[in-house]
Amino acid sequence: MSPRTTRTPRAASRTAAVSRTAAVSRAKATGRNKNVVEVTNLNVSFRTATGVIKVVENVSFSVAKGECLAVVGESGSGKSVSALATIGLLAKNQAIVEGSVKFLGEELLGKPESYMRKIRGGGISMIFQEPLSALNPVTTIGEQIAEVLVAHDRGNWKTANAKAIEYLEQVEIAQPARRAKQYPHELSGGMRQRAMIAMALAGEPELIIADEPTTALDVTIQAQVLDLLRRTTRERGTALLLITHDLGVVAETADRVAVMYAGQIVEEGPAATLLRKPASPYAIDLVSSIPSYERRGKGLSTISGNVPSPAHFPTGCRFHPRCRFAVAACAKTMPQLESTGGGRAVRCLRADEIARGARPTSTAKRAAAGGAKRPVKAPAKRKAAR
């Protein structure tokens, strides 16, 4: 978990470290397969002023040692809520979480907060989009990394301070000894995110969940930070759950991808094959919005309409009001996520027809099915910034 949750007074942190290590060791001992995390049929609902609203439905995924699973989808599709539910960070008085979350084979759903805090401290680290909100503004970067080390029983304060500098060096921060003595506001955005990665690594987690870790950075720094995150996790065999809305990032970073839409996974599979030949209309449209050399001169498309609000998910296939391939049945029948072989699965009633080359539905048929117009051309300049 974010280092903020591991910030305990020095005297207390040693005791906390022992029980935290014990909790993670217990989890490790019970883990029998290569998957670090296995989420099955995760459902998340929120209690709101207008009643209980389900925002994530039957989401299942796993991430193996050293693997990177990217979860992609437009804003509001349920990526962050799924991640927060996985690590028990949704407020219990607001969220109802059901299903199964196994970390190293051990069920985490239903565990008390005190236990989850230990697992988050030692087994799972999280990197957020905006490091400033996760870093303590009144503690130096070096001290914050040292706190993680002490909390995990990896030395006393003296040795931890020296080790903190080594971690800053590992994440390629120039002049690490000087930077260790600085406060978060004295570092650039890219450096702060590197420091967050250093803190995440200092916990020696089995799983890192990175929620839009580079969105706040400029494009060149984004590439460097992602490369660093991927390299360090691969070298250490850490599982990486990377949440992003940017398929360009996925192409460069992920082994596998899960595409989310309106609280459900609509397609999943190995990154290389899914990006080369997406099978569901939603993924097809998403992929055609990535700028690429092959598609130069063809323009980029956007998907018309917006992700529906969870209070108003459409009947049948949730994508049907925006789908170019929609037919009447799509508004009535909710497709299931079905395996199509090669590690891939697709949620679409017309997946077979589309795979055989079906063309988008005629405008009249689409209108009858409540379906969408053809995607509009996006100004190339705006999209190229992604």
Ligand X SMILES: Nc1ncnc2c1ncn2[C@@H]1O[C@H](COP(=O)(O)OP(=O)(O)OP(=O)(O)O)[C@@H](O)[C@H]1O
* Cα 85 from Cα 213, distance rounded (Å): 18
User: How far apart are alpha carbons 257 and 295 in whole angstroms?
Assistant: 22
Q: Which is nearer to ligand X, 313 or 325 (CB)?
A: 313
Q: Which residues contact 159 (CB under 8 A, 6 or more apart)?
A: none
Closest distance of CB 376 from ligand SF4, Å: 18
213 is a contact residue toward ligand X (CB under 6 A): no
Instruction: Give 3-state DSSP helix, strand, coil % of the chain, rounded to 5.
Output: 40, 20, 40
Total binding residues toward ligand X, as defined by CB under 6 A: 15
Kindly give, in sequence order, each residue whose CB lies less than 8 Å from that of residue 124, ignoring residues fewer than 6 positions away: 1, 37, 87, 103, 205, 206, 207, 208, 209
Binding mask 76-115 for Mg ion (x = CB under 5 A): ----x-----------------------------------
Pick the stretch among 70-78, 194-202, 284-292, 364-372 that binds ligand X (CB under 6 A): 70-78
CB 347 within 8 A of CB 266: yes
Closer of 73 and 122 to Mg ion (Cβ): 73
- Written as one letter, the residue type at 202 is A
Write the binding mask 285 to 314 for ligand X: x where contact by CB under 6 A, - elsewhere: ------------------------xx----
Provide the minimum distance between the beta carbon of 124 and ligand X in the complex, in angstroms, as a whole number: 18
Question: What DSSP character marks residue 322?
Answer: G
CB nearer ligand X, residue 41 or residue 48: 48
Smallest gap, in angstroms, from Cβ of residue 81 to ligand X?
A: 3
C-alpha to C-alpha distance for 199 and 84, rounded to whole angstroms: 19
Token look-up 């037919």 returns 327
Site string for ligand X, 244-263 (x = CB under 6 A): -x------------------
> Using the rule CB under 6 A, is 133 a contact of ligand X?
no
Q: Which residues bind ligand SF4 (CB under 6 A)?
A: 280-281, 317, 319-320, 323, 325-326, 330, 335, 348-350
**Closer CB to ligand SF4, 165 or 354, in the complex:** 354
Tell me: does residue 278 bind ligand X (CB under 6 A).
no
**189-202 and 141-151 are packed helices; what angle lies between their axes, rounded to 10 degrees?**
10
Sequence-distant (≥ 6) Cβ neighbours of residue 188 within 8 angstroms: none
Query: Distance between CA 278 and CA 271 in Å, rounded?
Result: 10
**Which entry of ligand X, Mg ion, ligand SF4, none binds 77, CB below 5 to 8 A by partner kind?**
ligand X
Query: Of 16, 39, 81, 87, which one interacts with ligand X (CB under 6 A)?
Result: 81
> Candidates 58-66, 69-77, 150-158, 188-196 — which segment interacts with ligand X by CB under 6 A?
69-77
Q: Does 80 bind ligand X (CB under 6 A)?
A: yes
In sequence order, the 6+-apart residues with CB closer than 8 A to the CB of 370 are: 314, 320, 321, 326, 331
In degrees, rounded to 5, the angle at the alpha carbon of residue 98 between the alpha carbons of residues 95 and 99 is 150
Out of ligand X, Mg ion, ligand SF4, none, what residue 280 binds, judged by CB under 5 to 8 A for its kind, is: ligand SF4
DSSP characters over 148-165:
HHHHTTS--HHHHHHHHH
Closer Cβ to ligand X, 105 or 308, answer by number: 308
- In the complex with ligand X, the residue whose CB is nearer, 155 or 308, is 308
CB of 156 to ligand X, least distance (A): 39
Of residues 85, 148, 82, the one with CA closest to residue 111: 85
Identify which range of 71-79, 180-188, 278-286, 323-331 contacts ligand X by CB under 6 A: 71-79
Would you give the DSSP letter of residue 138?
Answer: T
Chain residues binding Mg ion by CB under 5 A are 80
